[in-house]
Amino acid sequence: MTSRYSRQELFAPIGKEGQKRLHSTHVLIIGAGALGSANAELLARAGIGKLTIADRDYVEWSNLQRQQLYCEADALERMPKAAAAARRLRAINSDVAIIPHIADVGAQELEQLIKGVDLIIDGTDNFEIRLMINDISQKHKIAWIYGGCVGSYGLSFTILPGSTPCLNCLLESMPLGGITCDTAGVIQPAIQMVAAHQSAEALKILTGDIDALNRKLVSFDVWKNQFRTINVSSLKKASCPSCGEEQTYPYLSYDNQTKAAVLCGRDTVQIRPGTIQTRNLDHLETTLTGQGFKTKRNPYLLSFRVESARLVVFKDGRVFVHGIKDISEAKILYHRYLS
C-alpha cells in the first residue's frame, strides 16, 4: 500500500529521513481559532508525532466562516475549541497524538505546556499572551512562529532564540488597542496565507532545514494585491529584557500580567493591564465608531456595548466589563475588543 506521506517524501528537502524526524516531533499551538486550527490540520496531515492544542474558548456560529476544524454541531453544542479540534484531528490522522488543553493560558500554564515541545505556533488573538510566549520561548530556547491577520491583511515572523530579534525587540511596548477581527472582520484567504507561511516554516524547523527559513517579517494584503518582506535583523537589541544580554523575561512576571477580579455585589469584572499605561480615549473612540460601535464618553472614561455586556474603559487602562460575573468570559471580551 502506498504510504500516506509518499507525496511529501518525494519532496526532496523532506524525503524519508525528514518524514521520520517529523514523526518524532512535538508542536504546541496556543489558540485554536482561525490560525490555530489551520496550522493544526496542516501539521496533523503532515504526520508530526504529537500536537498539543491549548484554548480557553468554545465554538460559536461566527467562528464557522473561518475556523476550518469546526462544524455546525460544534457551535450548537458550544464545544470547547480544543476538544472539538482534537476530535476532528484524530479523525484526520489517528497516528498523531493530540493533546487538548481547555484553559486560559498564562505564564504558569506555559511552563507546564512547554515540556518536551520542539516548536510553538502562535494562534492567539492578543499581544499579552504573545509576549508571554515570546519570553517562554527565549527562556527555554524553543523557536516560535508569530502570525496575525485582520481584514485582508496578514503577517508572519519566525523567532529563533539567540539568532533573530524577538517580539519584544520589535515592539517598544504593549499595543494599546486597535483594529481586530471582531471590529474590522477577516476573510478566510488572509488566514490561509498566514497559516501557509507559518506551517511551511514549521516544517523547515521540524525537519532540521534551518538554512531554508525566511528570516524576514512577511506581510501581505490579499485584497489589495500587496506582498513584501521586511529585514528586521537590525532591530535585535542587546538591551532587550527578553532576549538580550541580561534576560529577565518580564512578561512571565506576575506584575506584568493582566489582573481581573469580580467587583463585590455587582455583575461586573474589573480588568487591569499588567503595565502602567495611559489609554488614548480619543484614538479608541475613533477606532470603535469607525467600526460601527456606539460609544459614550466623558473626560474620564469611554463606554460601549458589545454582545450582552457593556465595557467601560478608563484612562489608566482599567476596564469594567458589566453584565458578566465570569472572569474568563470577561477576559475574552477584553482581548477581543481592546487588546
DSSP conformation class of 263:
P
Helix, strand, coil in percent for the chain, rounding step 5 = 40, 25, 40
Confidence band of 173 (pLDDT split at 50, 70, 90): very low
pLDDT > 90? residue 33: yes
DSSP string of 177-211? ----HHHH-B-HHHHHHHHHHHHHHHHHHHTT-GG
* Domain co-membership, 85 together with 173: yes
**Measured in whole angstroms, how far is the alpha carbon of residue 285 from the centre of its chain?**
25
- pLDDT score recorded for residue 264: 65
Whether the CB-CB separation of 99 and 51 falls below 8 Å is answered with yes
Ranking 58-67, 86-95, 194-203, 216-225 by mean pLDDT, the lowest is: 58-67
What b/e string do you get for 219-240 counting C-beta neighbours within 10 Å, with b at 16 or more?
bbbbeeeeeeeeeeeeeebeeb
Whether the CB-CB separation of 164 and 233 falls below 8 Å is answered with yes
* Domain co-membership, 48 together with 156: yes
SS3 of residue 148 by DSSP = strand
* Domain co-membership, 145 together with 223: yes
Q: 244-251: which pairs have CB atoms within 8 A and are 24 or more residues apart? A: 247/138, 247/139, 249/135, 249/136, 249/138, 249/139, 250/135, 250/168, 251/107, 251/128, 251/131, 251/132, 251/134, 251/135, 251/168
* Domain co-membership, 302 together with 322: yes
Whether the CB-CB separation of 280 and 160 falls below 8 Å is answered with no
Better-predicted residue by pLDDT, 256 or 192:
192
pLDDT > 50? residue 57: yes
* Domain co-membership, 177 together with 320: no
CATH number at residue 281: 3.30.310.10
* Domain co-membership, 244 together with 287: no
Cα separations in angstroms, 81 against 129, 303, 333: 18, 30, 17
- pLDDT score recorded for residue 190: 95
> Is 1 contained in some domain?
no
- pLDDT score recorded for residue 278: 83
* Domain co-membership, 233 together with 282: no
> Is 246 contained in some domain?
yes
Q: Which domain holds residue 312?
A: 258-338
Better-predicted residue by pLDDT, 316 or 188:
188
* C-alpha span between 141 and 285 (Å, rounded): 40
SS3 of residue 311 by DSSP = strand
- pLDDT score recorded for residue 172: 65
Q: In the predicted model, what is the mean pLDDT of residues 297-323? A: 88
* C-alpha span between 184 and 291 (Å, rounded): 6
* All three cell numbers of 121: 505556533
* Domain co-membership, 22 together with 73: yes
> With the C-alpha atoms ordered 275, 281, 285, 286, is the resulting torsion angle positive or negative?
negative
pLDDT > 90? residue 21: yes
CATH number at residue 154: 3.40.50.720
Of 193, 227, 252, the last residue of a domain is: 252
- pLDDT score recorded for residue 78: 84
- pLDDT score recorded for residue 37: 97
Ranking 7-21, 141-155, 194-208, 271-285 by mean pLDDT, the lowest is: 271-285
Which of 269, 234, 33, 274 has the alpha carbon at shortest distance from 132? 274
Q: In the predicted model, what is the mean pLDDT of residues 145-158? A: 94
Ranking 42-51, 57-66, 151-160, 259-268 by mean pLDDT, the lowest is: 259-268
- pLDDT score recorded for residue 265: 65
Active site residues: 181
Ranking 39-53, 157-171, 278-292 by mean pLDDT, the lowest is: 278-292
> Is 299 contained in some domain?
yes
Q: In the predicted model, what is the mean pLDDT of residues 66-76? A: 94
pLDDT > 60? residue 262: yes
pLDDT > 90? residue 178: no
* Domain co-membership, 161 together with 200: yes
- pLDDT score recorded for residue 263: 75
Of 252, 268, 293, the last residue of a domain is: 252
* Domain co-membership, 292 together with 327: yes
> Is 319 contained in some domain?
yes
* All three cell numbers of 301: 472614561
Q: In the predicted model, what is the mean pLDDT of residues 75-81? A: 90
Q: In the predicted model, what is the mean pLDDT of residues 288-306? A: 89
pLDDT > 70? residue 179: no
Confidence band of 2 (pLDDT split at 50, 70, 90): low
Q: In the predicted model, what is the mean pLDDT of residues 170-180? A: 59
Query: What's the structural domain count of the chain?
Result: 2
pLDDT tens column, 189-231: 999 999 999 999 999 999 999 999 999 999 999 999 999 999 9
* Domain co-membership, 222 together with 204: yes
Of 234, 252, 270, the last residue of a domain is: 252
Whether the CB-CB separation of 261 and 327 falls below 8 Å is answered with yes
DSSP conformation class of 253:
S
Confidence band of 176 (pLDDT split at 50, 70, 90): very low
Range among 172-186, 209-223, 244-258 with highest mean pLDDT value: 209-223
* Domain co-membership, 301 together with 154: no
What predicted TM-score, i.e. pTM, was given to this entire model?
0.81
Q: Provide the CB-side half-sphere exposure for 10 (13 A, CA).
A: 6
